[in-house]
Amino acid sequence: MWWYPSSVPLVLASRSPRRKSILEMAGIPFVQIPGDVEEVPMEGAPGEVVLHWARRKARNVLPKSLGRPVLGADTMVAQEGCLLGKPRDEDHAFEIISRLSGRWHSVFGGVSVLWPEQDIELGFHHETRVLFRELEPHEIRAYISTGEPMDKAGAYGIQGYGCMLVDSIRGCYFNVMGLPVSRFVHEFRKMLLERR
């Protein structure tokens, strides 16, 4: 594809089906090699936290990359400075979604690309603002009963049943889904051109 700046396929250092779907949708050539980084809660500004984990994921898979560029990514939800990760259980999911009901929150996406063969170490974070409509407790419980919230930051997936929770969005939809793909390609292409 004309927008992807290299003939060398990416290595996606993630097992996320959402990120896989975004790259496929964009026509970007890649192979998926999940890493084994265990994410633990950490303090810090949301943008710095997601970038930290994106870099850790990319570095973890780099030895298996066979000279290809490695893409690591991470996504977190934050509201008023508080990071809202994946829910521990259904009660925690209910607590998170209730907190987001009728209010704005931010989704932070961290992106890291490592490609030592081209002297590339790219890293950035991207923020998208999302507003949930006012939700009734029975709606929240019905959504949780689908199982969808349980493996997602902020306890919802905008690309699935969670689309019914969202009233408005400011910024990149794909960042909320898991990867700010347009900015990633733009930044990657710019860095490759600078190396030529």
Q: Would you name the residues annotated as active-site residues?
A: 74
Helix axes 181-195, 17-26, angle to 10 degrees: 60
Show the tokens assigned to 77.
Answer: 């939800």
Residue pair 89/154 in contact by the 8 Å Cβ criterion: no
Torsion 123-129-130-134 (CA) sign: positive
For residue 141, give the nearest of 90, 83, 186, 106 by alpha carbon. 90
Torsion 35-28-17-74 (CA) sign: positive
CA distances from 192 to 23, 111, 114, 179 (A): 19, 16, 12, 20
- 50 exposed, middle or buried (CB, 10 Å; 0-12, 13-18, 19+)? buried
